[in-house]
């Protein structure tokens, strides 16, 4: 699903350049028809990892996907932009000030049903997981995303990811929206509606997409770490990419 940010542009009537991954998709379609075609594309050959395991799991994947582009020994944390040693995971029992854990960008409690991690599935999808500072992760909790400016933090009853991260968040939410669009009756039918995880109007967008994420996508271009995550995820992890 390479360069899924194009989907944002399509759904918001902006221009785009088709990427090779999308060969076979009819881009004359618009709105929900295009969404369905993309959902079919990205749902094939997509194998989520175990959350925690003695074998290769999401901890291992994040050490690769979220590696600091300027320091290969570190991971770059979402929201506060700290660079910390990649082996300082809470999963390995570390509890120091430079440790990191796993943030579900689409908060677990806001999906339907709640994102579970006991088996590989929507709750372990690496595209929705980012390395994060444990205290910042706790502060965000299950707050919905809301508009703001400057640095990250709680705003207007929601959570602003920060100017440098709002595009990353928007594209992750778009992926979850397209990938998991069930009726909520089972894990296999998980839905991740943008209107459940963000504060904004959906009057001019289809199927519970909200203008907040479309605007964030346009405002904050794809970053180096997103490109890195895309490459690693496509080639090594889930065989699928989101930008």
DSSP 180-242: -B--SSSGGG-B--HHHHB-S--TTSSTT--HHHHHHHHHSPPPHHHHHHHHHIIIIISS---
Contact 232/40 with Cβ under 8 angstroms?
Answer: no
Query: Quick one: pLDDT at residue 13?
Result: 34
Report pLDDT for 21. 65
Instruction: Please give the pLDDT value at position 237.
Output: 65
What's the CA gap between 194 and 170, in Å, rounded? 9
Low-confidence ranges of the chain (pLDDT < 50): 1-17, 241
- Looking at the DSSP bridge assignments, the partners of residue 101 are 132
> Which of 147, 45, 57 minimizes the C-alpha distance to 102?
57
Q: Provide the 10 A C-beta neighbour count for residue 185.
A: 11
Question: What does the alpha-carbon distance between residue 51 and residue 118 come to, in Å, rounded to a whole number?
Answer: 7
- Residue from 1, 24, 22 nearest 242 by CA: 1
The pLDDT of residue 45: 67
């Amino acid at each position: 699903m390479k360069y899924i940010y194009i989907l944002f542009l399509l759904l918001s009537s902006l221009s785009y350049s088709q990427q090779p991954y999308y060969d076979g998709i009819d881009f004359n379609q618009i709105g929900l028809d295009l969404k369905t075609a993309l959902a079919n594309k990205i749902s094939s050959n997509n194998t989520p990892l175990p959350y925690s395991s003695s074998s290769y799991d999401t901890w291992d994947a994040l050490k690769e996907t979220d590696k600091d582009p300027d320091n290969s020994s570190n991971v770059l944390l979402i929201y506060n932009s700290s660079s910390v040693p990649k082996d300082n995971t809470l999963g390995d029992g570390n509890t120091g000030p430079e440790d990191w854990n796993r943030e579900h960008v689409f908060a677990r409690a806001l999906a339907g049903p709640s994102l579970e991690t006991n088996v590989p599935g929507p709750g372990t999808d690496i595209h929705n997981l980012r390395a994060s500072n444990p205290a910042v992760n706790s502060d965000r909790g299950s707050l919905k995303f809301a508009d703001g400016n400057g640095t990250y933090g709680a705003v207007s009853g929601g959570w602003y990811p920060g100017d440098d991260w709002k595009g990353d968040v928007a594209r992750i939410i778009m992926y979850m929206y397209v990938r998991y669009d069930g009726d909520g009756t089972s894990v296999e039918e998980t839905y991740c509606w943008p209107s459940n995880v963000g504060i904004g109007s959906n009057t001019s967008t289809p199927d519970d997409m909200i203008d907040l994420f479309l605007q964030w996508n346009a405002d904050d271009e794809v970053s180096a770490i997103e490109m890195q995550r895309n490459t690693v995820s496509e080639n090594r992890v889930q065989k699928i990419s989101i930008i």
